[in-house]
Amino acid sequence: MFRTTVQATHAGGRADEEGGEEPGPPLVVAEELVVGYEQPVLGPVSFRVHPGEVVGLWGPNGAGKSTLLKAVSGTARVFRGRLEVAENLRIAYQTQQPLRLGEMPLKGRELLRCMGADKTEPPGRLGPLLEKRIDRLSGGQFQILNIWACLGGEADLVLLDEPSNNLDQESLDLLVELLEARRSEEALLLVSHETSFLDRAATRRLEVGT
């Protein structure tokens, strides 16, 4: 079932995982994982992600949270340890700053169609954004739309880097609603430095670099 990326060659401590149920076989297994770029920046960390879980990655600035997401998506280097993902795992990945082009005469609904996220009807509160041109959306509205573009597609695992950044209370509430709407269909691994957001959105918290 699993594709092995790197075999374990190193022993060390476990990451700090808190509580939560573990429904179904894991989609991601990381054991004593050390990740980085030219040099290691994080690890060793050990964790698993199961279907239906929202795992919140938390830690100080520069701890390597984004790098860990990149490693899971295959774009950062694995130095040591073991990282396995389920075979044929479909991953959607929202980076910390979604790419925003200039003039773009495309409505929100059309963006979702382009990104393969039009099969699932979005929660009603997203409706107004779907009928607006995406180059007329505010930064927060564009962020929320892009997050739904990840959540509303056919991914098994969704990686979200700081999805709560720059959102006001109303948008934060909507974000929590969007995450909850897709929880039974997919697993989420999200980075946030906002503990109050993680308390609401995550089923489990994984602390790194503390």
Ligand X SMILES: Nc1ncnc2c1ncn2[C@@H]1O[C@H](COP(=O)(O)OP(=O)(O)OP(=O)(O)O)[C@@H](O)[C@H]1O
Question: What residues line the site for ligand X (CB under 6 A)?
Answer: 37, 41, 59, 61-67, 193
CB 62 → ligand X: shortest distance, Å?
4
CB 84 → ligand X: shortest distance, Å?
21
CB 59 → ligand X: shortest distance, Å?
6
Residue 156 or 194 having the CB closest to ligand X? 194
CB 80 → ligand X: shortest distance, Å?
16
CB 146 → ligand X: shortest distance, Å?
18
Amino acid residing at 110: E
Instruction: Tell me how far apart the alpha carbons of residues 138 and 48 are, in angstroms, rounded to a whole number.
Output: 36
CB 161 → ligand X: shortest distance, Å?
7
Residue 61 or 169 having the CB closest to ligand X? 61
| Upstream peptide bond of 98 is cis (omega within 30 degrees of 0) | no
- Count CA within 13 A, CB hemisphere, residue 191: 25
Residue 153 or 192 having the CB closest to ligand X? 192
Residue 50 or 70 having the CB closest to ligand X? 70
Burial per residue of 138-150, b for 16 or more beta-carbon CB atoms within 10 angstroms, e otherwise: eebbbbbbbbbbb
Residue 71 or 134 having the CB closest to ligand X? 71
Residue 24 or 62 having the CB closest to ligand X? 62
